[in-house]
């Protein structure tokens, strides 16, 4: 049987029989149940009812409830700890008589319930769970998602719905990036000017933080806060300029890119401030790990070292103490921060810039620029995480993230060094996301990253991943995630409420420009609108990806079905511009995409002509493709900061037609 599970379990085998679902479906919990898991099991039952429409007789699972002949028997031996290294394994057996879920603790049992929901199937006789045996456990113990709320603030409901999505994908760490040049996003009762002056009024109260922490813990998810020091610090310094390395006043930064306000690394006032503030936050966040950022500070030519290099006291201090460069100065500062965090019972984690030979080995390194830092860290005895390759804000294809492995087959690390690789994190930096479209940047691609971090290394079939991902993407919507439904809503606004068909045909085959090109092509600030075509367009456009695959298959072995599909798509795009242009005329925000829409129509026409030549074994004439180069060049431009994703495949058709059936070639 074909299973549609994600992450794919470590071991799964089909068995005969199936469990047929009826309204008398009941759950019993044995072993060492506690209140947290009763709520988990009740949520499972509600989700199962919502998927099937069945009116289950069991309502809310409660301690002390006796369930005769349960349909699903859950047994675990102890309450799990939401901490690094906890046993998350489970076994699941489904047969016609009963479903048995066993785990060491309730966290593993929770994972098993997510798998069971994904197993749900249906036929003409109703809903059923297929017979199977599953033995499952994660490959890596740290499977995280970073959500940056500093650049653009994300309300509580955004965080909660993404926590639910993470739990469904068996992810277990929310890395909460809470301070940035553009905003300080948490209430401090000790230093209130941090949030009062550094947030534009957008921050979480400590009560809201506690609510989110409880919500996460109930889903088996740790929350690691990040407060970026000594760089990315403008929002710290608005209210407390005395912490800075240059004279104030400071202001909240509105633009994107690397900013240079930096905390003074030699100041006793700074260390006292951080001791008090980190102590306040350490008491609020229970997880032992505490992220200090530490990236993109003033280090040599890589940045404009304005604040440290031009401070005479800092320069004199470096000379007196034989601190040779800014990297060593940052390491000096980090050692003091480490002392502070250690006193407060925390383990320091930071981006790869904190990696320095002078640092103690009890810190954790997070690699964002490449695997080299992670390998170097492991060889030097540091624990580390991989984020390079999981930067989902860069709009790269799902397959790219999926095939990025913290421990690839050719890793240079030996067995003991490999144990220092904790796992990885997807990173959702928020320069270009709002509460409206952030889910479309996180999901469904992060589900593929979740699988890479959970499943065995040999689970790497890209085509099968995409097949399952489409199914899982729809299931994720039950958590209130908006990655699917907000797409057409954003298109309706762009058309001013008119028919979106032509616009959707176009946006289905474009993607936002990738890596860091968006701000290079058009400067943005934190108040720039995030409602244009680029913001509605989704990463890894499915229509474009499938068209490209069809072209490749057609050119290898031509079939009638492939020809029909190609002809249908090309005729659609050829005719679409005329209809879309009518909408563009009444919706000025769409005018920036007109050149690309026109280019799509012309390129589709050339590709149709190429297909005709290939199918009829006709001859191509120079006049057939006289302007082809012009339009493919136009299609490669980025008006509106978007990319047409179908034209490379169209060019393949044209190339095949001109190479195989060139008049000049035959004579």
- Sign of the alpha-carbon torsion through 384, 387, 389, 390: positive
What's the number of CA atoms in the CB half-sphere (13 Å) around residue 220? 31
Taking a C-beta distance cutoff of 8 angstroms, is the pair 21, 128 a contact?
yes
Three-state DSSP at 626 gives coil
Q: By the 8 A CB rule, do 654 and 608 touch?
A: no
Dihedral sign of CA atoms 597, 601, 602, 607 in order: positive
- 89, 103 in Cβ contact below 8 A? yes
Alpha-carbon span 464 to 442, nearest angstrom? 20
Structure tokens belonging to residue 185: 């996003």
Q: Are strands 72-78 and 90-94 parallel, antiparallel or unpaired?
A: unpaired
Number of helices (H) and strands (E), helices first, in the chain? 25, 19
Q: Is the peptide bond before 263 cis (omega within 30 degrees of 0)?
A: no
Backbone angles phi, psi at 328, to 5 degrees: -70, -35
Q: How far is CA 129 from the centre of its chain?
A: 30
Tokens 């699903």 belong to 72
Residue showing tokens 């490449």 = 370
Residue keyed to tokens 């399952």: 468
DSSP letter assigned to residue 346: -
- Give me the catalytic one of 187, 296, 352, 431: 296
Three-class SS string for 251-284?
CCCCECCCCCCCECCCCHHHHHHHHHHHHHHHHH
**CA-to-CA distance for 27 and 109, rounded, in angstroms?**
13
85-119 b/e (C-beta count within 10 Å ≥ 16 → b): ebbbbbbbbbbeeebbbbbbbbbbbbbbbbbbbbb
> What Rg, from alpha-carbon coordinates, does the chain have?
28
Tokens read off for 244: 């800075």
Taking the C-alpha atoms of residue 635 and residue 329, their distance in angstroms, rounded to an integer, is 49
DSSP state of 511: E
Give every CB contact of residue 65 below 8 A, 6+ residues apart in sequence: none
Where would I find the beta strands (DSSP E) of 340-459?
347-351, 364-367, 383-386, 421-428
Verify whether residue 615 is a known catalytic residue.
Answer: no
Measure the CA–CA gap between 319 and 364, rounded to whole angstroms: 29
How many C-beta atoms surround the C-beta of residue 473 within 10 A?
A: 18
Handedness of CA 346, 352, 354, 358 (dihedral sign): positive
423: helix, coil or strand?
Answer: strand
Residue with tokens 């309730």: 106
Active site residues: 296
């Amino acid at each position: 049987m074909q299973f549609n599970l994600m992450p794919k379990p470590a071991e799964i085998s089909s068995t005969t029989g199936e469990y047929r679902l009826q309204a008398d479906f009941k759950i019993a919990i044995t072993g060492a149940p506690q209140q947290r898991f009763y709520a988990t099991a009740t949520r499972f039952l509600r989700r199962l009812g919502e998927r099937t429409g069945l009116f289950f007789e069991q309502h809310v699972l409660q301690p002390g409830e006796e369930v005769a002949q349960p349909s699903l028997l859950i047994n675990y031996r102890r309450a799990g700890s939401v901490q690094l290294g906890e046993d998350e394994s489970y076994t699941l057996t489904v047969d016609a008589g009963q479903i048995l879920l066993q785990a060491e603790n309730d966290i593993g049992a929770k994972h098993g319930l997510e798998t069971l929901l994904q197993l749900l199937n249906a036929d003409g006789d109703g809903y059923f769970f297929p017979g199977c045996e599953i033995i499952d456990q994660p490959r890596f113990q740290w499977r995280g998602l970073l959500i940056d709320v500093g650049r653009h603030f994300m309300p509580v409901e955004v965080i909660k719905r993404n926590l639910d999505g993470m739990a469904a994908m068996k992810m277990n760490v929310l890395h909460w990036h809470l301070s940035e040049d553009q905003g300080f996003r948490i209430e401090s009762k000790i230093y209130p000017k941090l949030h009062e002056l550094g947030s534009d009024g957008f921050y979480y109260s400590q009560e809201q933080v506690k609510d989110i922490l409880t919500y996460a813990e109930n889903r088996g998810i740790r929350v690691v806060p990040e407060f970026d020091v000594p760089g990315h610090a403008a929002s710290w310094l608005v209210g407390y300029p005395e912490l800075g390395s240059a004279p104030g006043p400071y202001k909240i930064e509105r633009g994107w890119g690397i900013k240079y306000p930096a905390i003074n690394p030699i100041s006793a006032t700074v260390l006292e401030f951080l001791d008090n503030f980190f102590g306040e936050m350490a008491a609020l966040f229970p997880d032992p790990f505490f992220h200090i950022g530490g990236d993109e500070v003033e280090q040599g030519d890589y940045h404009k070292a304005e604040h440290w290099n031009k401070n005479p006291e800092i320069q004199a201090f470096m000379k007196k103490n034989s601190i040779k460069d800014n990297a060593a100065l940052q390491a000096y500062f980090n050692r003091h921060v480490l002392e502070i965090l250690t006193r407060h019972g925390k383990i320091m984690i930071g981006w790869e810039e904190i990696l320095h030979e002078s640092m103690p080995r009890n810190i954790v390194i997070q690699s964002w620029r490449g695997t080299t830092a992670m390998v170097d860290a492991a060889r030097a005895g540091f624990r580390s995480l991989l984020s390079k390759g999981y930067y989902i804000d860069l709009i790269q294809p799902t397959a790219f993230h999926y095939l990025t492995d913290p421990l690839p087959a050719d890793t240079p690390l030996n067995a003991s060094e490999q144990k220092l690789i904790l796992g990885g994190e997807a990173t959702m930096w928020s320069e270009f996301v709002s509460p409206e479209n952030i889910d479309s940047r996180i999901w469904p691609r992060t589900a593929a990253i979740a699988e890479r971090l959970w499943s065995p290394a040999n689970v790497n079939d890209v085509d099968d991943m995409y097949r399952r991902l489409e199914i899982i993407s729809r299931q994720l919507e039950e958590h209130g995630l908006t990655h699917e439904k907000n797409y057409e809503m954003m298109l309706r606004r762009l058309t001013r409420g008119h028919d979106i068909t032509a616009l959707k045909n176009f946006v289905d085959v474009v993607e936002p420009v990738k890596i860091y090109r968006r701000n290079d092509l058009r400067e943005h600030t934190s108040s720039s609108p995030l409602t244009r075509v680029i913001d509605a367009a989704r990463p890894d456009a499915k229509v474009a990806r499938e068209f490209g695959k069809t072209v490749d298959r057609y050119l290898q072995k031509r079939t009638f079905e492939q020809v029909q599909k190609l002809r249908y798509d090309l005729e659609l795009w050829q005719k679409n511009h005329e209809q879309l242009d009518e909408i563009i005329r009444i919706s000025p925000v769409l005018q920036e995409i007109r050149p690309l829409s026109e280019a799509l129509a012309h390129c589709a026409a050339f590709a149709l002509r190429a297909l005709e030549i290939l199918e009829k074994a006709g001859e191509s004439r120079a006049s057939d493709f006289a302007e082809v180069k012009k339009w493919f060049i136009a299609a490669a431009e980025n008006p509106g900061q978007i990319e047409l994703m179908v034209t490379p495949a169209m060019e393949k058709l044209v190339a095949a037609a001109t190479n195989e059936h060139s008049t000049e070639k035959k004579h």
